[in-house]
Amino acid sequence: MTDKEIPRQAASPGSPGAAGAAAGAGRPTNTSHSTALTTDELATLRAVVGRVIPADDLGPGAAEAGVDVFIDRALAGPNASDLPVYQAGLAALEKAVGTGGFASASPAAMDALLTKAEAGTLDGVPEAFFSLLLEHTRQGMFGDPVYGGNRDFVGWDLIGYPGIKLVWTSDEQEINAHVAPKHISVAKFGGQGW
Partner 1 sequence: MSAQLPKADVVIIGLGAAGGIAAHVLTQAGIDVVGLEAGPRLDRTDFLAHDDEISGVILNWTGKYKCNKEVPTWRPNANAATAKPPVPPILMGNMVGGTSVHYGTQSWRFRADDFKVRSSTVERYGEAAIPENSTLADWPLSYEELEPWYDKVEYLIGVSGKGGSNPFASLRARDYPMPPLPSFGYGDLAQKGMESLGYHPFPQPAAILSERYDDRPACTLCGYCGFFGCWNDSKSSTLVSAIRRAEGTGKLDVRPNCRVTAILSNDKGQVTGVRYIDDQGQEREQPAGVVILSTYVYESVRLLLLSTSDHFRNGLANNSGQVGRNYMSHAYVSRNGLFPGKDLNLYSGTTGQAVAMDDLNGDHFDHTGLGFIRGAVVFASNGNLPIGQSRTIAPGVPQWGSAYKRWIHDNGDSVGSVFAQVEPLPYTGNFLDLDPKVKDPLGIPVVRVTYNFGENEDKATTYLDTKLAELIKAIGATETWPGFPARTPVPVNSHAYGGTRMGDDPATSVVNKYSLAHEAPNLMILGGSTFPASSGYNPTETIEALAWLSADYLANHLDEIAV
Site residues (vs partner 1, CB under 8 A): 1, 5-7, 10-12, 17, 51-54, 56, 58, 61, 78, 111, 114, 118, 134-135, 137-139, 141-144, 146-147, 155-156, 158-162, 164-170, 172-177, 179, 185-186, 189-192
Residue 163 sits at φ, ψ, to 5 deg, of 100, 175
Provide the minimum distance between the beta carbon of 98 and partner 1 in the complex, in angstroms, as a whole number. 23
Residue 97 sits at φ, ψ, to 5 deg, of -80, -25
Provide the minimum distance between the beta carbon of 99 and partner 1 in the complex, in angstroms, as a whole number. 25
What distance, in Å, lies between the first and last C-alpha atoms of the chain?
A: 34
Output 65 or 96, the one with its CB closest to partner 1.
65
Helices (H) and strands (E) in the chain, counts: 7, 0
Output 83 or 138, the one with its CB closest to partner 1.
138
In order of 75, 78, 186, the CA distances from 129 in angstroms are 13, 17, 30
Output 4 or 98, the one with its CB closest to partner 1.
4
Provide the minimum distance between the beta carbon of 168 and partner 1 in the complex, in angstroms, as a whole number. 4
Output 22 or 159, the one with its CB closest to partner 1.
159
191 CB neighbour count, 10 Å cutoff? 19
Q: Is-contact 59 157, C-beta < 8 A?
A: yes
Output 76 or 134, the one with its CB closest to partner 1.
134
Question: For residue 59, which amino acid is it?
Answer: G
Strand partners, 59: 56
